[in-house]
Amino acid sequence: MSNTKARHIAPLTDLDGFIAAALVDSTSGMMLESTVKGSFPIEVAAAANTQVVQAKLKAMKAVGLGNDRIEDILITLGGQYHLIRPLMANDEVFIYLSLDRNAGNLAMARLEMKKLDQSIDRL
C-alpha cells in the first residue's frame, strides 16, 4: 500500500473493497494526502475528479442552487464506486474514495466518509 501522509484518510483503508483514497484541493487538483492499495493511478484520478467537482458547482450555480452545497457525488462504474465528498470545514478540499464494487459496501463507505469529514476541522 502506497501512502502520502495519509494522516486524515487512513481510516478509509479499513473499508471492504478499498482501492484508493485522497484528500484533494479542488482549485489546483493537488493531492494533500493519498493512500493506494495496488497500482491505482491516484494522481490522475485526483486531478480528473477536481474537474467533476468544478463542473457540478458550475451546474448548481446555473440552475440557481449556488447557495447550496455538495454533500457527496457518487460515480458508479461497472467494477468500482467512486465517491467524492467536499469537506464541511473547507469546501475547496474533497475526499476521494475508490472501492471495488463487488467487495465494498456503499452505505458503509458513505458513513465513514461523513465521519471522517466531521473529524477534520481545518486544513
pLDDT value of position 52: 94
pLDDT value of position 91: 87
Domain total of the chain: 1
- What Cα–Cα distance (Å) separates residue 118 from each residue in 60, 77, 86, 90, 99? 23, 27, 11, 11, 21
Structural domain containing residue 106: 2-119
pLDDT value of position 121: 81
pLDDT value of position 66: 83
Task: Collect the ranges in the chain with pLDDT lower than 70.
Answer: 1-6, 122-123
Which domain CATH number covers 107?
3.30.450.30
Q: What is the signed CA dihedral for 6, 87, 44, 48, rounded to 10 degrees?
A: 180
Report the C-alpha gap between 55 and 83 in whole angstroms. 15
